[in-house]
Structure 1
Amino acid sequence: MPKIYVAGHRGMVGSAIVRNLIAKGHDPSRIIGRTHAELDLTDQAAVRQFFAIEKPDQVYLAAARVGGIHANNTYPAEFIYDNLMVQANVIDAAFRNGVKKLLFLGSSCIYPKLAPQPMSENALLTGFLEPTNEPYAVAKIAGIKICESYNRQYGTEHGVDYRSVMPTNLYGPGDNYHPENSHVIPALIRRFHEAKVNKTPTVTIWGSGKPYREFLFVDDMASASVYVMNLPKAQYEEHTKPMQSHINVGYGSDITIAQLAQTVGKVIGYTGQIDFDSTKPDGAPRKLMNSTLLKTLGWNPSVDIEEGLSIAYQDYLKKVLE
């Protein structure tokens, strides 16, 4: 049984990957992870030492500095620097220590702001990025290109097989519910829950409510990640290209932010009024992923938005009660 390192194993995606691996019969003792306090992935020497000692067979690179529009606007330097360093350090140390299989998790924000919808893999680097999260997007694009470059240079001689998956907007257990630095779903869950508890008559949402967004439950993302990691190399390469090897992972349909807010309110049981502050930024008008390639390879999501939000809300309530 392979020894698997999940970078970011306590994050929302990383912990879901660990759950999926264990559910599939992997020995928990063969799945390794390190907290930030135990291993700073921006520290090249520490990362190299970790890989030299642990010698994992597979790596899921799910560690990243992440956040919503506010966080991306407020901390652009940290978003580009930390993510670039983490990716470069982990991927290079994996190669230096004989790791043949690695999966890098990117983001849908790699695509141009006005990319044709739904966004397909070949839209990468065809236009300008969304300004509010450009530093994060540039770092994620670099991660894809690092994987492709190591495959290109070391694939034949060393058997390097580093793959990339691009998730749409994720949500679910383990999310970040910070009042300012969270993504849209956890932010809405917190806001609607507090409004319900405090009997607040109106909840105001950032933006016009008109942009469309696609959302994928995090355990579906974990399922897709493990699926792509374990696809036979010939099958994977048959459907990808050496310098365009990433695969989109989406739900397959999107909803407006206004529809999302109404659904969150329904799941939580909030009965007040929902308003929208159009003076706040909307971000990209639409970000629907074209996940045809992944479906062609045999994977489909299983959790719809209302079921996923119900599970996410229960997770939030546990955190509130802790």
Structure 2
Amino acid sequence: MFQKFNFDTEWAVKLISKITNDEDIPIEGDAIVKQLLALQINAEKYFFNIRKSLVEFDEVLEVQRKHVYDLRQLILTGDDESCSQHIFQYMQAVVDEIVFGNADPLKHPRYWSLSKLLKEFINIGGKLLDDSFAMISEEDLFQSLKQLRESNSVDVDNFHLPNLPKPPDGFRGIRRKNSSLKRWLAICSDDSTKNGRYRPTTNLLRKYLGDILIASYLNIVQESGYDDAYIKEIERAVLVKTLDCFWRDHLVNMNRLSSAVNVRSFGHRNPLEEYKIDGCRFFISMLSATRRLTVESLLQYWSSPMESQELFFS
């Protein structure tokens, strides 16, 4: 204890041995009291810093926990329309990640990774998009984007890329049309995207692929023949189960991070700041993986409902 809090151990031992060897006799003296007081102050500072560090580390996870719990509660207690909106937002977010990962608004579409973009998009939809997109090549998509840039106007309500498949007629009804329009407005007002010369083209590509995915999903759900109550039950089950699964894994990863991050202090880095940075990165990755798996699971389920029932109700 003396050594831990920078107390003069050798001096203390010699002094105490000179005074008495009897443990029952109290040790008194101004010098002793002063040294013990300094020891107590150092000990209290040490343990206070430990408690403070634990609280600061927990605050990082508490923000994430609140976000996840609020989202989970909204899924469980929200109405059917809000549940559908969650799924549409997930689908658009997945499309956005694919587009941003392969198309840079600062560069000409000729330098975009259009082949990889098409492959990732088809993989998300699985059998649902195989028939309509399997034969589309990188050059087809590039020529379509080129024609789009040369056009003078765009009909947002019935938008599709030239010479490419039109979105299925899944936006029937005022609510669904309003939902599509809101997504377009959200895309246009997205401040997180790069503000490059080809940003309008990128936004229209996001809109087109999002419409394709969402309208295809609405069509296949409608063709399944199930009633709305059962459909919403499945959607909620997939949303919640996927979120819970990734949240549990995230908690394990954050616990490991909190144990490992202290080593970075040897590199003159602040462990708390490193924990915040990596924790934020882990959380963003978790949400991204949650959205993608949710979309893939729903598309897979409604593509073959009978084969997928055991997956969600076992």
Q: TM-score, normalised on structure 2?
A: 0.25
Q: Which has the larger radius of gyration?
A: 2
Structure with the larger strand share: 1
Larger RCO (CA within 8 A; separation ≥ 6): 2
Structure with the larger helix share: 2
